[in-house]
């Protein structure tokens, strides 16, 4: 079951349908960037040359020491492994110009706590960009997601019934852009949410 669960968890990040959306999401970032993720290398090649440093916090696996290296363009990359029980990020207040998550909020054990940390770590002029999947706006699909939620948490490792918009607003972040759309199949997994939020 653990091998199947791992493959299902990583399927979307490897899906070619998803690559264009990820590219567009991270291409706008610049300056000092924080990415919070479970797939630590999937977005590295999509960051623009205007990113001066990248800190990647991985919530997968057991916590370990941080690692420092560079990508193929010489971008300084700090990799930090915190584990899925994390509720704090090891950064000073107002550190980052941008924070990025892609298919992360659905798999966090403590999304509210981490989003509060995102708010704390952003500079006053900073922005949080996200590409997530979650609760459908369609009532019949929401009922299906609710019925399948516990099973999919066990099999697929993520919560398909999370209200992404509500989570972000509850963190006292102001949604400047927000869009829901369908991407791929099956439908209960393919309600995508993308957008940009800033500090209030």
68-105 per-position pLDDT tens digit? 887 777 888 999 999 989 999 999 999 999 999 999 99
Which CATH number characterizes residue 11's domain? 3.40.50.150
How many domains does one find in the chain?
1
Q: What gap in Å lies between CA 195 and CA 175, rounded to an integer?
A: 7
pLDDT of residue 157: 86
Helix (H, G, I), strand (E, B) or coil at 197: strand
pLDDT of residue 17: 58
* Dihedral sign (CA 165, 17, 127, 111): positive
**Which tokens in the block code for residue 56?**
């990647």
Range of the structural domain that residue 87 is part of:
2-199
Q: Is residue 4 over pLDDT 50?
A: no
Q: What gap in Å lies between CA 114 and CA 101, rounded to an integer?
A: 11
Angle between helices 2-14 and 16-27 (to 10 degrees): 60
pLDDT of residue 10: 46
pLDDT band at 40 (very low <50, low <70, confident <90, very high): confident
pLDDT of residue 15: 55
164 contacts 95 by C-beta, under 8 angstroms: no
**Percentage of the chain with pLDDT > 70?**
91
């Amino acid at each position: 079951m653990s091998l199947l669960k791992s493959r299902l968890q990583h399927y979307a990040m490897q899906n070619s349908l998803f690559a264009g959306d990820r590219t567009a999401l991270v291409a706008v970032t610049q300056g000092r960037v924080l990415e919070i993720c479970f797939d630590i290398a999937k977005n590295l090649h999509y960051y623009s040359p205007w990113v001066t440093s990248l800190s990647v916090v991985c919530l997968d696996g057991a916590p370990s020491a941080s690692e420092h290296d560079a990508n193929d363009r010489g971008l300084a990359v700090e990799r930090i492994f915190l584990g899925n029980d994390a509720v704090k990020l090891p950064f000073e207040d107002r550190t980052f110009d941008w924070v990025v998550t892609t298919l992360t909020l659905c798999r966090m054990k403590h999304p509210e706590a981490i989003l509060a940390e995102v708010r704390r770590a952003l500079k006053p002029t900073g922005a949080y960009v996200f590409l997530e999947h979650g609760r459908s706006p369609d009532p019949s699909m929401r009922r299906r997601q609710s019925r399948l939620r516990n099973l999919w948490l066990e099999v697929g490792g993520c919560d398909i019934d999370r209200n992404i918009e509500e989570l972000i607003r509850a963190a006292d972040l102001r949604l400047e852009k927000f869009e829901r759309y369908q991407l791929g199949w099956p439908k209960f997994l393919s309600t995508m949410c993308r957008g940009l939020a800033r500090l209030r």
